[in-house]
Amino acid sequence: METADRSDAPVIVVLDGPAGTGKSTVSREIAARLGLSFLDTGAMYRAMTYWLLQNGVDVDDPEAVAVASAKPVIRSGTDAAGPTITVDGRDVSGPIRGSEVTAAVSAVSAVPEVRVRMVELQRGSAASAPVGIVAEGRDLGTVVFPDADLKVFLTASASIRAVRRAAQLGVADPAGIAEIHADIERRDAADSGRAASPLAKAADAVEVDTTEMSPDEVIGRIIDLVRERAAVPAR
């Protein structure tokens, strides 16, 4: 295992970008190689969405979501070797990846009260990481960790993101891939257009287009950036 070159302060590395750019795979591997904690913030929003659906809350009613969002106990394990996500003590790492949650998570994520709660939880996870953390999401560099040591904005064409997501899901037929492509474009529009903490590249983020890059190439590029910047005081 390699060790990140750091100052005394814990390292905070954030990867933002739209769905399907490989943020989860890449950020988890970077954390593992550098001995840092790992945080999948998207899983936290999915966990909230799952709880709301399971408890009969209308996810298309922002007021109902806002009221209910304070109720579930969401805990995100940050071990890169085996990250976990629980709601009220129950492991929901499998159920949160279902199609019902995927279809509803953008609407839930757009509710300001949900985002306020998630930001608090995400900052708490980073504060409790003994060495540092690699976090992936959509508003980390702009809202959650504006003073991160390194901010990376991952991009890729919608078509290649659809092919990657289809491969993950085991979908091979053209109609299925086209449906995934349409869903990715819908999520892009929802995430970028929401009023609360929209998906956006931070002014000081390094953009990495993964369209023509393998996961190992992306990982290597970002690890090089961490080594360049982690020793520079960020706060």
Per-domain residue ranges of the chain:
11-224
Mean pLDDT by 10 residues, the chain (235 residues): 54 91 91 94 96 98 98 96 96 94 93 96 92 93 95 92 85 89 84 78 94 92 88 37
pLDDT reported for residue 92: 98
**CA–CA distance, 183 with 164 (Å, rounded to integer):** 13
- What whole-number distance in Å separates Cα of residue 104 and Cα of residue 123? 24
CB 35 within 8 A of CB 47: no
Q: How confident is the model at residue 193, as a pLDDT?
A: 77
Q: What is the pLDDT of residue 8?
A: 60
CA distances to 93, 205, 234 from 46, rounded to whole Å, are 9, 25, 30
- What's the predicted TM-score (pTM) here? 0.85
Q: Which fold has domain 11-224?
A: Rossmann fold (3.40.50)
Q: What local confidence, expressed as pLDDT, does residue 49 receive?
A: 98
